[in-house]
Amino acid sequence: MNLQEVKVKLEKERDGLKLVLESYEEAKEVFKESVSASDEMADRYEYQEEIHLKKEILEERLKKVEKALKKIEEGNYGFCEKCGQKIEEIRLKIDLAAELCRFCAIK
């Protein structure tokens, strides 16, 4: 696997995640402005909770992607954080930001 290609793909994913997260912030602001006092509290809560959970998932993925990019810069990309062994190439193809080898992930 070409490390430069991996870096470019991770950078594209990072940039895309940032755009989506920004749109969530914008949607949150629009929602706050458009909700009237007569709207059901439960509906507002559910919508806000859904946005919050999706945002958390995206933020967690962004952290993993940025961590993988940092590993590329440091020269230790593709090694398991737990045992230090090389992460299987097929695993990295599935998830470029994989942090653990197959054996450590199973444990």
Res 30: pLDDT: 63
Residues near 100 by beta carbon (within 8 Å), at least 6 away in sequence? 80, 81, 82, 87
**pLDDT grade, residue 93 (50/70/90)?**
very high
- What would the pLDDT profile of 4-58 be if each residue is shown by its tens digit? 999 999 999 999 999 999 888 777 666 665 655 445 666 667 777 888 899 999 9
Res 51: pLDDT: 82
What are the phi and psi torsion angles at 102 (to 5°)?
A: -60, -40
**pLDDT grade, residue 70 (50/70/90)?**
very high
Query: What tokens appear for 73 in the block?
Result: 């810069």
- Model pTM score: 0.82
**Cα–Cα distance for residue pair 16/32, rounded to 1 Å:** 25
